[in-house]
């Protein structure tokens, strides 16, 4: 399972690299198809937001400024009007005007003149259901009609984020190709993200580690943010929920940031090194989950700037916490910092775009998408390696609790449980098992002649020799300082116990390399065949495994020095009258 999981994570990350390259190529092609006509427009800002198309058409020409380069507009509750004269278009093809960055447009309305001197509006934007748009798509799309020189007006409003319009002129074929390729790449990204999310949940169930739970929450918020930010959500998942479509990008961004700090807090083990930093990360994470309440209540430019500041500081805080924990000895915290690097390098582009510093571009729209395609599976692979190492350490600790520290044999409580189960299975399957007690009789001589170190070495050699004479399914246990118990499980014939005892004696006399030949281990053996299917032994006696082991110890204590092997019979039950009188007493 571990090998399969490791290779699954490795292949997932390799696939993410291919996916990121594919996303980069596809989105670059989609952005390069068509002509950018942003700088061919002129703009006028309506600070009140109440001007109609008739009012704007009467604005003096000298009041309308040329948009010489892409720029941002902080219009608050106002509206931005873009005046665009149509170039000479091929009448054999249908032409469209595409507004990039649909997540940053509350309402977009294109006014085109009609033959009777009226204006025909086409509407889109987050404040309208996508299903009611003139052309439902991920971003606002408008049909262009008219001869060369026809003036169209595009009215834009967005609150509280600044506006940074980016316009492309596409014909029907280029629009369809760009749409198909962008939906294909985003669909692949979403499917790959869901696969990684499933693998993360498998790790939650497999390791029971809170780090994977935080990782699953982080990936879920990341997928939700990408669905909302790229317009997939409004197009496919909530086409009739304009309020949710408008709020989802900011909401998922805050939840994503809060989940990221929670994830960093867990993976960096801050509670182990600093209670103050642990509390800071906890409060900072909770701010990301609760700030949407205040943000949507005020919904002001100041609240939006605070949102951007929170995201930027969270990037710096997460990286600083990972590096600090790495310097404290948390090795995987350093690897997590490197895993976050693709997203941290991509985050400033949409953050600065939403703050109005950068104009809308390919990088502001798709940098986080590509960065997360690299980051998410990379973090999963690092977490898998971390959980594997921690799980191996826990397994070693469990083994230490259940084994003898000197010989590495099974501990006595484990032997008692296995003996109990072996007797029950043997009775159920009508087979035989056996319990053998072996004593290293010359241990005192070895210690007296060569010291305690050689005595311990003799015990280790004895444990190795006894383990070599039994099967893999049998159990060898050190039950006291110089005595070992062998549980020979079914299927086994009691007639072979004599052969096994002789084999054990001969194995010790054969000598071993770590121990001098004249001090070779000498064994004494007591055997007991189990269970008694004839009914001569009472079940209560037979099932009391501790009493059974004590019986073997007493027999070995009474064994004559010159005798090395004793085969014990099963105890005979007391007469019924004696048993009844004993119970009455």
Domain 2-29+176-393's class? mainly alpha
What's the whole-number average pLDDT of the chain? Answer: 85
Task: Give the global pTM.
Answer: 0.72
Where do the domains of the chain lie?
Answer: 2-29+176-393, 35-170, 412-571
Domain 35-170's class? mainly beta
CA atoms within 13 A on the CB side of 519: 20
**Mean pLDDT along residues 262-273:** 93
* CATH code linked to domain 412-571: 3.30.70.270
Beta bridge mates, 530: 433
Give the integer Cα–Cα distance in Å for 462 and 298.
78
Q: Are 267 and 278 in contact (CB under 8 A)?
A: no
Higher pLDDT: 222 or 9? It is: 222
Percent with pLDDT over 90 in the chain: 49
For residue 6, pLDDT beyond 70: no
For residue 578, pLDDT beyond 50: no
Of 144, 148, 128, which Cα lies nearest the Cα of 136?
128
Give the integer Cα–Cα distance in Å for 466 and 411.
15
The predicted structure's pLDDT at residue 543: 53
Residue 444 Ramachandran class (φ > 0 left, ψ -120 to 50 alpha, else beta): alpha
Task: Tell me phi and psi for residue 324, to 5 degrees.
Answer: -65, -45
The predicted structure's pLDDT at residue 191: 94
For residue 70, pLDDT beyond 70: yes
Q: What is the pLDDT of residues 325-359, one digit of tens each?
A: 999 989 999 999 999 999 999 988 888 877 767 77
CA distances from 152 to 70, 74, 77, 112 (A): 19, 23, 23, 5
Q: What is the pLDDT of residues 217-249, one digit of tens each?
A: 999 999 999 999 999 999 999 999 999 999 999
Provide the pLDDT confidence category of residue 390 given band limits of 50, 70 and 90.
Answer: confident
The predicted structure's pLDDT at residue 280: 96
The predicted structure's pLDDT at residue 515: 66
Q: Are 319 and 260 in contact (CB under 8 A)?
A: no
Long-range contacts of range 450-453, CB-CB < 8 Å, 24 or more positions apart?
A: 450/516, 450/519
End-to-end CA distance of the chain: 59
Of 213, 266, 215, which Cα lies nearest the Cα of 378?
215
Residues in CB range of 385: below 8 A, 6 or more apart: 6, 332, 335
- Rg of the chain (C-alpha set): 39
């Amino acid at each position: 399972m571990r090998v399969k999981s490791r290779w699954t994570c490795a292949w997932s990350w390799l696939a993410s690299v291919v996916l990121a390259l594919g996303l980069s190529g596809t989105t670059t092609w989609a952005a390069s198809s068509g002509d950018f006509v942003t700088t061919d427009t002129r703009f006028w800002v309506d600070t009140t937001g109440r001007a109609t198309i008739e009012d704007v058409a009467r604005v003096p020409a000298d009041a309308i400024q040329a948009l010489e380069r892409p720029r941002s507009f902080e219009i608050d509750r106002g509206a931005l009007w873009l005046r665009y004269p149509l170039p000479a278009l091929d009448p054999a093809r249908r032409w469209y005007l595409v507004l990039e960055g649909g997540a940053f447009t509350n309402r977009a309305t294109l006014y085109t003149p009609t033959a009777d001197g009226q204006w025909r509006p086409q509407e889109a934007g987050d404040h309208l259901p996508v299903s009611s748009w003139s052309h439902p798509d991920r971003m606002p799309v408008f049909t262009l009609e008219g001869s060369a020189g026809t003036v169209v007006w595009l009215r834009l409003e967005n609150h509280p984020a600044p506006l940074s319009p980016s316009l492309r002129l596409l014909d029907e074929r280029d629009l369809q190709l760009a749409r198909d390729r962008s939906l294909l790449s985003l669909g692949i990204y979403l499917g790959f993200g869901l696969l990684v999310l499933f693998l993360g949940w498998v790790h939650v169930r497999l390791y029971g580690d809170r780090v994977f739970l935080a990782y699953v929450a982080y990936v879920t918020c990341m997928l939700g943010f990408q669905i909302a930010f790229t317009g997939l959500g409004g197009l496919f998942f909530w086409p009739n929920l304009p309020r949710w479509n408008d709020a989802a990008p900011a909401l998922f961004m805050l939840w994503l940031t809060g989940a990221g700090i929670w994830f960093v807090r867990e993976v960096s083990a801050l509670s182990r090194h600093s209670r103050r930093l642990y509390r800071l990360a906890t409060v900072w994470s909770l701010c990301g989950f609760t700030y949407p309440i205040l943000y949507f209540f005020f919904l002001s430019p100041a609240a939006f700037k605070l949102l951007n500041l929170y995201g930027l500081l969270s990037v710096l805080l997460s990286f600083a916490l990972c590096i600090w924990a790495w310097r404290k000895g948390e090795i995987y915290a350093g690897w997590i910092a490197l895993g976050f690097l693709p997203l941290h390098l991509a985050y400033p582009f949409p953050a600065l775009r939403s703050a109005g510093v950068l104009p809308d571009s390919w990088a502001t729209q798709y940098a986080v998408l590509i960065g997360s395609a690299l980051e998410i599976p990379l973090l999963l692979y690092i977490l898998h390696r971390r959980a594997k190492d921690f799980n191996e350490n826990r397994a070693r600790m469990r083994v230490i609790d259940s084994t003898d520290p000197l010989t590495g044999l099974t501990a006595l409580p484990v032997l008692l449980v296995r003996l109990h189960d072996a007797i029950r299975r043997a009775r159920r399957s009508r087979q035989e098992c056996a319990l053998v007690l072996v004593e290293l009789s010359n241990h005192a001589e070895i210690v007296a002649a060569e010291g305690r170190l050689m005595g311990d070495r003799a015990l280790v050699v004895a444990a190795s020799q006894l383990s070599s004479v039994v099967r893999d399914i049998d159990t060898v246990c050190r039950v006291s300082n110089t005595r070992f118990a062998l549980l020979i499980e079914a299927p086994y014939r009691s007639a072979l116990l004599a052969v096994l005892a002789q084999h054990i004696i001969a194995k010790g006399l054969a000598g071993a390399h770590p121990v001098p030949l004249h001090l070779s281990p000498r064994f004494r053996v007591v055997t007991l065949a189990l269970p008694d299917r004839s009914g001569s032994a009472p079940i209560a006696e037979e099932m009391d495994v501790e009493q059974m082991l004590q019986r073997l110890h007493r027999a070995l204590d009474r064994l004559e020095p010159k005798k090395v092997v004793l085969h014990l019979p099963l105890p005979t039950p007391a007469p019924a009258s004696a048993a009844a009188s004993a119970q009455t007493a």
